[in-house]
Chain A
Amino acid sequence: MKIGIPRALLYYRYHTLWETFFEELGVETVISPPTNKGILDSGSIYAIDESCLPMKIFLGHVEWLIGRCDMILLPRIASLGRQGSACMRYQAAYDVARNAFRGRQIKLLDYNVDLRKNGGQIETFLSLGRAVGKKRAQSLHAYLAARQADKAVGTAELLHQQDLLRGDRCRILVVGHPYNVYDPYVGGPVLDCLRALNTVPIIADIVDRREALERSANISSTLPWAFNRQLVGAIDIYRRYVDGIVLMSTFPCGPDSLVNEIVVRRVRELPVLNLLIDGQEGSAGLETRLESFVDIIHFKREEDITLA
């Protein structure tokens, strides 16, 4: 049996967990390739017009997996309990995909998280193990190994980023959902551009998640969405170490449209750039915005801007 995992949405947050879990169970996985134009185009055909860019990309990845695996893993997250709720897209992704590809005879593997109703993450993984025909003890063992692997990767990333906070190079905090920041088709050009402008991008997603959730209250204590809360908390953690903040959102993200406004109003001591990304082909608008933003920071740092 082969499990397909779409390289989209929550993949970027949970991939070590998922991949290790299946590996430990001896279940083969196939992951769709990094987003490219072909994937976005096919996703756009299946998504409704008003759908957000990440959702279109997600459907493109699901489409790519059809015929290449026996089951496709589709997470559905309703609530992360005290951490907050999730955007409607995470709740709907499973059903949207099932409906969009009805008649294509696909088998979906659901991964439900609703901490208000069910137990913790462990329950979710046990039922995932059951669905692929594994015993409870096997699944439990695989889950614990996956947890450990995920923690190790997270710690390594965090240590690497802490190294970047030293030295006097110009640092820009990039605040965005992992599926935007790490997607080479969406956030890739932004990170490349920032590096080409001689700055060090600091990724808000790489953070001690528990600390970030707590510190988000320093900027806003009323945000409903867990993932946004974490990003806002990361701003509070990193604000002392960076020269500017880029808020990277994809069009038309509901939670981000509210949260970005709050950040712009409440984080006053740093220049903030609100960067909205759609499926546009040209990169000229992006370059203009990032280059002029970095120029402002260099002006402030009294560096020769023609060097940038």
Chain B
Amino acid sequence: MKAYLGIDVGSISTKGVVIDSKNAILASEYLWTEGDPMGAVRRLLKALASQLEGKDVQVAAVGTTGSARKLTGAMTDAQVVKNEITAHAIGTTSLYPDVRTIFEIGGQDSKIILVENGIVVDYAMNTLCAAGTGSFLSSQARRLGVQVEEFGEIALTSQHPTPIAARCTVFAESDLVHKAQIGHKKEDIIAGLCKAVVTNYLNNVGKGKKIAPPIVFQGGVSKNVGVKKAFEDATGFPVTVDPNGHLTGALGVAILARKSGKEQPFSFGVADMDFVTRGVECGKCSNRCEIICVYQNGRLIDSWGNRCENGAIRAAK
């Protein structure tokens, strides 16, 4: 049976799916990137291969997305390397064909995608600031001595969420410390934080956008029921969180790989190959670009990071 592999390597987590020609998921895996995207991809491929063991499956095309999509694409010789916004939109509309609004909050970025008749019509992404994203929530959880996974459940127990300044991460943090010191309850502060994330999101990436139901909420932060509820309170619409929501990016790019028409048998044996990256500073002009070279078993397979042709390093094909 022909199958298609989609890999989504984000800043925090790495996701992978294998689908058949009808977009049904044959295997899927979710693990932490732990700052080592290549290691994570290797572990991901091993896990997917073991799930598929004994089945007659041949991966015909590979797609990669997420912030490490280029690196992963080089490792797996992917047919499609696509940005995460398009990948998420394709993945979500395949699961929810009538979706109108997609909220997405990940580890380092947040975005909103507006869909009409299954076609993306507009999107926005946070600019230079990562306030209100997953990294912010997990650092605040650590400060409060709570596991970030429990955050949502604790938030739901609050009767009176504490108002927290949502504008800026730095100020939110000092506001939070202040509120704790003057005696606000922990669950109220946590609920306030969830609300702050939503207010921040709607006022920044969601600013000026027409939010219409059905709404799907995804990305790592969607696992937090406190944030989901805050979204429902703020918009007045029900918000759907798919149990496979974390996989939509990988699913979307697998679908794109299937639709690309480009096929080339892929072997999970890539996981056993030796991959090394090396950063070289190009000294040919005063831009001093940091060029990343990717080696497979000692052989240069790809490079990027040069701003001009002087720094181009040709891979031996």
Contact = CB atoms under 8 A, between A and B. Distances in A.
A254 interface: no
B173 interface: no
Nearest to B81: A291
B290 A281 contact: yes
A39 B286 contact: yes
Contact of B128 (A276, A287, A288): A276
B84 A274 contact: no
Contacts of B260: 306
Contacts of A299: 119-121
Interface in B69-87: 70, 80, 82-86
Given A274-B127, A276-B127, A289-B125, A295 B86 contact: yes
Contacts of B67: 284, 288
A26 B195 CA distance: 67
Contact of B83 (A37, A189, A287, A306): A287
A113 to B, nearest CB: 32
Contact of B285 (A36, A276, A278): A36
Contacts of A293: 123
B297 interface: no
A296 B307 CA distance: 26
Given A36-B285, A292-B83, 12 more contacts: A37-B288, A38-B287, A274-B124, A288-B67, A288-B125, A291-B83, A295-B83, A295-B86, A296-B122, A299-B119, A299-B120, A306-B82
A152 interface: no
Report, as a range, how many residues of chain A touch the other chain: 20 to 34
A276 B256 CA distance: 29
A292 B208 CA distance: 19
A271 interface: yes
B178 interface: no
A251 interface: yes
- Main SS at interface, chain A: helix
Interface of A: 36-39, 185, 188-189, 251, 264-265, 271, 274, 276, 278, 281, 284, 287-289, 291-293, 295-296, 299-300, 304-306
A127 to B, nearest CB: 35
Contacts of A264: 208
B286 A37 contact: yes
A292 B85 contact: yes
Interface of B: 67, 70, 80, 82-86, 119-125, 127-128, 208, 256, 259-260, 285-288, 290, 307
Nearest to A282: B305
Contacts of A189: 307
A271 B122 contact: yes
22 contacts: A36-B286, A38-B286, A264-B208, A278-B128, A281-B290, A284-B70, A288-B85, A291-B82, A291-B86, A292-B86, A292-B125, A293-B123, A295-B86, A295-B120, A296-B120, A299-B119, A299-B121, A300-B119, A300-B121, A306-B80, A306-B82, A306-B260
Contacts of A300: 119, 121
Contacts of B290: 281
A278 B129 CA distance: 12
A288 B84 contact: yes
A288 to B, nearest CB: 5
A130 to B, nearest CB: 37
B272 to A, nearest CB: 28
Contacts of A289: 125
Contacts of A37: 286-288
B43 to A, nearest CB: 23
A306 B86 CA distance: 10
Nearest to A275: B127
A36 B307 CA distance: 10
Nearest to A284: B67
A300 B117 CA distance: 11
Contacts of B80: 306
A37 B289 CA distance: 9
Q: Which 9 A-B pairs have the closest CB atoms?
A: A38-B286, A292-B85, A36-B286, A295-B86, A291-B83, A288-B83, A37-B287, A276-B127, A292-B83
A256 to B, nearest CB: 12
Contacts of B307: 185, 188-189
A306 B259 contact: yes
B107 to A, nearest CB: 14
Contacts of A188: 307
Nearest to B122: A271
Among B82, B83, B123, B260, max chain A CB count under 10 A is at B83
A114 B286 CA distance: 37
Given A37-B288, A38-B286, A291-B83, A251 B256 contact: no
B259 A296 contact: no
